[in-house]
């Protein structure tokens, strides 16, 4: 049926492919890009060299990207990607957040629990195996379950056959294609260097997603393995990992129009949406998420004001949530600015008329009905899911779900509770102690429960009613306060050893534990799991319809076909260039050291370290001065197509040398996750010359510089 759709649309539009600069291309689809075009732009490498050499130096850090830059496993990434490790090791006494950190020897490097580095070893297409079984399903729920089960089997088989392999099967094109990624995962990652926050986060939330930027958003980590070269948990006996490939760092001059390509792990885009889907997302989903993020940030910041230690503890999540909040503000503004809902509705109407004339089934109609069904239960589900953000409540949920799941065979469990994932869950239960604030947890849980009280009675979770009953909003608010005060007074979920003990118990043993907060979280988790199970039919239908929708929309718009971002390794290409955000305004593509000093106010987030100001006043620029700019370059813009997850991605010249690190996008481009606007979409990069300048002149990190391969 899908082939019939495509034949009809192709007959109407013609089969000519128009290549565009938009697109995040998987390495197995590089041949979709006109190589001669990239060669003319400045690429001096072959696609095979990119696939087999350069890409092997690029690693996923689980939510960010990094690159090996030395033979001893040194990884360069963003300051904000490494921030969790910085915060974990910081305290009021050793404030590495404010003062920065530098280990001038292996022995002084600090552990970064929760971090890992994934190196992609191989990619294999397993579509036929999965869809051969899924296409025989009796209904959509069964289809979803077959796909999930087959993915688990493939991953488990792959990991059992090869030592030290992490397998991951990922869906592309909405469920049309499935690829198996074989990865070498390094679990012992350590903090090596971080600039002071006043450099690594200069401009703070005010400048976040804005241009011009003047931020030294970079840090260094290191990967460690056991003495035999195998992945291993943190141990003093571990040794630095020796990668087969690492990248050089360029000191070469840059100018407007220079070619750049980026390799990284972009997290998520959704560019093949219908008008109805964008409408629901823009007008319902985004406002709810903005409210949640704003309220949680306010609760955290109020707690952090009490003393310096609490401020350190909430710093990571305040930073992360502010970033996410501004992201959704940018998406909202961009979708409205570009009138995306109207444009997509108009496009969908043309597609509908085309199918109607030919008396063919229109998959957009079906996906819209499906989206409306899902949307009806989305608000309650969203609040339930985000309530797990409360550390103790989330821990209780994981402990309870594990008690349920451990009674099943490995392949029959929820994927997140398979044996391969249990060490990571336990590690989180342990490390959460570092930033746990019980009083803040209680306040946040009360906040979420009161959101449920605000919902119509028929939309509230059954667990909510079980614990708080029914009544007016005022009555429910009072019951929530007294009940949760009692729960937190007696819970042991605030204790690391108790959490780990709970986690090791059988379901029968855990049921007997006298911990009301644990059982409350467990009941909530069970209900959320049940709701997700009930969604399998809708999700299965989405995986059946989405590939058809993508192909129809793509052929109708006549763009180069590429899959949405999904956390897998991608290449994007572009050039250094400025842009016009509005009438009569033009933004240049480079910012400079002078601009850093111009923004100086003496107050955070525009307060520079005294030493950095002295370097500027003395004009102590060294070899990092750019004659054409008449200054040291700090940040620059490219028109590469990137998104969240790309943070820390190496921005490379035509020879595959690092010219900078991607760390952000401009505010006008955030909505490109859903609608790509080439005139406004820009990536913001910290220049490699500023990175080296800070290392050399500011931090005197000579051992680190010697470890790098710098090319002029």
How high is the pLDDT of residue 376?
A: 86
Write down the pTM of the prediction.
0.91
pLDDT in tens, 528-583: 999 999 899 999 999 999 999 999 998 888 777 899 999 999 999 999 999 999 99
Q: What is the mean pLDDT of residues 344-349?
A: 96
Confidence of residue 354 (pLDDT cuts 50, 70, 90): confident
Confidence of residue 378 (pLDDT cuts 50, 70, 90): confident
pLDDT in tens, 626-639: 999 999 999 999 99
pLDDT in tens, 503-524: 999 999 999 999 999 999 999 9
3-state secondary structure 519-541: HHHHHHHHHHHHHHHHCHHHHHH
Distances in Å between the alpha carbon of 28 and those of 21, 124, 155, 564, 642? 18, 9, 20, 14, 18
The closest alpha carbon to 387, from 252, 251, 527, belongs to: 527
Q: How far apart are CA 75 and CA 59, in angstroms?
A: 9
- Indicate whether 395 pLDDT > 50: yes
pLDDT in tens, 64-121: 999 999 999 999 999 999 999 999 999 999 999 999 999 999 999 999 999 999 999 9
pLDDT above 70 coverage of the chain, percent: 97
- Indicate whether 36 pLDDT > 60: yes
Kindly report the backbone phi and psi dihedral angles of residue 605, in degrees, each rounded to the nearest multiple of 5, phi listed first: -95, 20
How high is the pLDDT of residue 554?
A: 87
Q: What is the mean pLDDT of residues 164-186?
A: 97
Q: How far apart are CA 576 and CA 591, in angstroms?
A: 12
pLDDT above 90 coverage of the chain, percent: 91
Confidence of residue 3 (pLDDT cuts 50, 70, 90): very low
How high is the pLDDT of residue 396?
A: 98
How high is the pLDDT of residue 575?
A: 97
Let me know if 217 is a catalytic residue.
yes
Q: How far apart are CA 422 and CA 167, in angstroms?
A: 15
- Indicate whether 435 pLDDT > 90: no
E strands of 520-613, at which residues? 570-575, 590-592
- Indicate whether 18 pLDDT > 60: no
- Indicate whether 12 pLDDT > 70: no
Q: What is the mean pLDDT of residues 412-421?
A: 96
Higher pLDDT, 476 or 376: 476
Catalytic hit among 647, 649, 671, 672: 647
Kindly report the backbone phi and psi dihedral angles of residue 185, in degrees, each rounded to the nearest multiple of 5, phi listed first: -100, 120
Q: Is-contact 645 264, C-beta < 8 A?
A: yes
Residue 58: strand, helix, or coil: strand
- Indicate whether 11 pLDDT > 50: no
- Indicate whether 13 pLDDT > 50: no
Confidence of residue 8 (pLDDT cuts 50, 70, 90): very low
pLDDT in tens, 203-260: 999 999 999 999 999 999 999 999 999 999 999 999 999 999 999 999 999 999 999 9
Q: How far apart are CA 484 and CA 403, in angstroms?
A: 23
3-state secondary structure 167-223: EEEEEECCCCEEEEEEEEEECEEEEEEECCHHHHCCCHHHHCCCCCCCCCCCEEEEE
How high is the pLDDT of residue 557?
A: 82
Rg (CA), the chain: 26
Work out whether the CA dihedral 88, 92, 97, 101 comes out positive or negative: negative
- Indicate whether 7 pLDDT > 70: no
pLDDT in tens, 615-626: 999 999 999 999
Confidence of residue 359 (pLDDT cuts 50, 70, 90): confident
Q: Which strand (E) or helix (H) includes residue 225?
A: strand 219-225
How high is the pLDDT of residue 17?
A: 34
Q: How far apart are CA 77 and CA 263, in angstroms?
A: 13
Strands 58-60 and 65-68: antiparallel
How high is the pLDDT of residue 64?
A: 96
How high is the pLDDT of residue 561?
A: 83
> Mean pLDDT across the chain, nearest whole number?
94
* Residues contacting 50, CB < 8 A, separation 6+: 27, 30, 261, 263, 571, 656
Catalytic hit among 118, 140, 207, 217: 217
Catalytic hit among 60, 80, 315, 435: 80
């Amino acid at each position: 049926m899908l082939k019939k759709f495509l034949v009809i649309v192709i007959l109407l539009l013609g089969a000519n492919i128009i290549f565009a600069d938009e697109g995040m291309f998987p390495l197995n689809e590089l041949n979709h890009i006109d190589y001669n075009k990239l060669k003319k732009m400045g690429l001096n490498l072959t696609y095979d060299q990119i696939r087999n050499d350069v890409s092997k130096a690029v690693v996923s850090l689980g939510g960010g990207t990094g690159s090996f830059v030395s033979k001893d496993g040194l990884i360069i990434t963003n300051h904000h990607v490494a921030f969790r490790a910085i915060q974990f090791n910081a305290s009021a006494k050793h404030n590495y957040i404010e003062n920065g950190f530098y280990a001038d020897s292996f022995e002084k490097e600090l552990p970064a629990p929760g971090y890992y580095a994934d190196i992609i070893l191989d990619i294999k297409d397993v579509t036929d195996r999965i869809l051969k079984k899924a296409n025989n399903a009796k209904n959509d729920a069964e289809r979803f379950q077959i796909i999930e089960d087959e993915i688990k089997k493939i991953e488990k088989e792959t990991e059992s056959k090869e030592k030290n392999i992490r397998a991951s099967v990922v869906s592309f094109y909405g469920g049309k294609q499935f690829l198996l990624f074989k990865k070498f995962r390094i679990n012992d990652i350590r903090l090596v260097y971080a600039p002071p926050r006043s450099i690594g986060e200069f401009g703070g939330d005010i400048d976040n997603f804005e241009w011009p930027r003047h931020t030294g958003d970079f840090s260094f980590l290191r990967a460690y393995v056991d003495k035999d070269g195998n992945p291993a948990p943190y141990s003093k006996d571990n040794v630095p990992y020796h990668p087969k490939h690492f990248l050089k760092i360029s000191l070469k001059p840059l100018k407007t129009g220079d070619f750049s390509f980026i390799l990284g792990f972009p997290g998520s885009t959704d560019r093949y949406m219908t008008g109805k889907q964008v409408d629901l997302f823009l007008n319902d989903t985004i406002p709810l998420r903005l409210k949640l993020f704003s309220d949680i940030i306010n609760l955290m910041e109020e707690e952090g004001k009490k003393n310096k230690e609490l401020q350190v503890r909430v710093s990571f999540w305040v930073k992360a949530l502010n970033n996410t909040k501004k992201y959704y503000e940018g998406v909202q503004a961009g979708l409205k600015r570009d009138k995306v809902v109207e444009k997509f509705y108009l496009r969908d109407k043309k597609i509908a008329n085309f199918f109607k004339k030919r008396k063919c089934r229109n998959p957009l109609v079906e996906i819209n009905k499906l989206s409306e069904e899902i949307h009806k239960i989305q608000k309650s589900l969203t609040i339930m899911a985000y309530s797990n953000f409360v550390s103790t409540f989330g821990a209780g949920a994981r402990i309870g779900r594990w008690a349920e799941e451990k009674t099943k065979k490995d392949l029959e469990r929820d994927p997140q509770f398979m044996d391969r994932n249990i060490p990571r869950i336990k590690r989180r239960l342990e490390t959460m102690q570092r930033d746990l604030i019980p009083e803040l947890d209680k306040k946040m849980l009360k906040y979420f429960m009161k959101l449920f009280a605000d919902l119509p009675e028929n939309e509230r979770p059954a667990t909510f009613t079980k614990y708080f009953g029914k009544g007016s909003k005022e009555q429910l608010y009072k019951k929530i306060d007294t009940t949760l005060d009692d729960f937190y007074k007696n819970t042991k979920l605030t204790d690391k050893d108790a959490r780990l003990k709970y986690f090791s118990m059988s379901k029968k043993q855990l049921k007997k534990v006298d911990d009301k907060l644990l059982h409350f979280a467990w009941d909530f988790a069970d209900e959320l799991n049940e709701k997700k199970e009930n969604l399998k039919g809708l999700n299965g239908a989405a995986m059946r319809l989405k590939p058809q929708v993508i192909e129809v929309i793509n052929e109708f718009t006549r763009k180069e076909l590429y899959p949405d971002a999904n956390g897998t390794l991608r290449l994007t290409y572009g050039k250094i260039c400025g842009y016009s955000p509005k009438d009569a305004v033009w933004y240049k593509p480079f910012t400079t050291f002078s601009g850093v000093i111009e923004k100086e106010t003496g107050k955070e987030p525009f307060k520079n370290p005294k030493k950095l100001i002295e370097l500027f006043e003395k004009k102590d620029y060294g070899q990092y001065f750019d004659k054409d700019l008449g200054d040291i370059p700090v940040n620059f813009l490219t028109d590469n197509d990137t998104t969240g997850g790309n943070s820390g991605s190496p921005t490379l010249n035509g020879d595959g040398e690092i010219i900078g690190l991607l760390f952000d996008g401009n505010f006008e481009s955030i909505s490109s996750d859903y609608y790509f606007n080439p005139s406004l979409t820009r990536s913001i990069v910290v220049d490699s010359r500023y990175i080296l300048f800070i290392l050399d002149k500011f931090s005197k990190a000579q051992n680190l510089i010697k470890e790098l391969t710098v090319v002029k």
